[in-house]
Amino acid sequence: MKFPRIYSLDEIAELIGATSVGPANFPILGCNEIHVVEAGDIVFVDHPKYYDKALESKATVVLINKKVNCPQGKALLISDDPFRDFNKLTKYFNPFKFSNSSIATTAIIGENTIIQPNVFVGNNVIIGENCIIHPGVIIYDNCKIGNNVTIHAGSILGADAFYYKKRATGYDKLISGGSVIIEDNVDIGALCTIDRGVSGNTTIKKGTKIDNQVQIGHDTIVGEKCLIASQTGVAGCVIIEDEVTLWGQVGTNSGITIGKGAVILGQTGVTKSVVGGKTYFGTPIDESRKKLKEMAQIKQLIKK
């Protein structure tokens, strides 16, 4: 999530009530999660397991809950609760805006695009040319949809990420400030849900086709010309490379990569990253021929 202008370290420290370590005028361009962070960004970390990863990341500023040595060329924001303070940034720079019409006046809709009845199009949404948006589709604020896209009835783009921190009093939500990007020539079936990114974007690249009742989690990137069959659930922060096929009822762990051209057979649990160009099956996942051979061998042992 990029800020509307360059902010100084002291400005951000005052905004969230943190202690700054670094030059007062140290420039900050935005804030992001660790997997999408860029130079100029703030990243937050609140667990010792991830301190080094955050401090060594591309982030220019680290929002952290411990006094540590500041890496050269970076700055720190010391907070007793980085999770809370990261939410403060999201609320400040991307506050919720209510709507009072089915299609926001700030939405941009391209030529020859058809919007069927009972569709909701939120603030600052951009929809390209020659699209068909079927009844009951909900497109949250700031989503971007390319040309020649079809979205079938009841699908929802841009709902919040499923991201919580467990506390003694219950679960605190990490507020979503990202969006959804759908590129050209994408088809999305009925009753699909594509969640927005926490600070970046969930992206479906051009030419991908998605069946009915598919869930795509926050900050996931689906490559070009992929096929995703019904009742598949893709977790957050997954990278699906180009021309991947996910058959029905596939489920994935978060933070994994599925390589280009991989085929994942139905009901497989993708528990780890897999290389492209192969067919996979089962839970835990393995190459399909190997997995099916093992199942046949187990069957023969049972018979004996």
The domain segmentation of the chain, as residue ranges, is 2-93, 108-291
Is pLDDT above 70 for 115? Answer: yes
Give the whole-angstrom CA distance, residue 279 versus residue 245.
9
Give the whole-angstrom CA distance, residue 179 versus residue 123.
12
Give the whole-angstrom CA distance, residue 251 versus residue 38.
29
Helices then strands, each counted (H, E), the chain: 4, 34
- For residue 278, which of 270, 269, 268, 288 has the smallest C-alpha distance? 288
216 three-state secondary structure: strand
pLDDT score at 246? 98
**Which pTM does this prediction carry?**
0.93
Fold classification of 108-291 (topology level): UDP N-Acetylglucosamine Acyltransferase; domain 1 (2.160.10)
Active-site hit among 35, 47, 152, 218: 218
β-sheet bridge partners, residue 202: 180
Give the whole-angstrom CA distance, residue 17 versus residue 20.
9
Give the whole-angstrom CA distance, residue 8 versus residue 166.
32
218 in catalytic set? yes
pLDDT score at 292? 84
Q: Are 178 and 156 in contact (CB under 8 A)?
A: no
Q: Which residues of 203-232 are buried (b: 16+ CB within 10 A; e: fewer)?
A: bbbbbbbbbbbbbbbbbbbbbbbbebbbbb
**Segment 202-239, tens digit of pLDDT:** 999 999 999 999 999 999 999 999 999 999 999 999 99
Q: Which residue type, as a one-letter code, is found at position 279?
A: T
pLDDT score at 294? 83
Residue 297 pLDDT class (50, 70, 90 cuts): confident
**pLDDT average, residue stretch 153-176:** 96
Quick one: 2-93 is in which CATH superfamily?
A: MurE/MurF, N-terminal domain (3.40.1390.10)
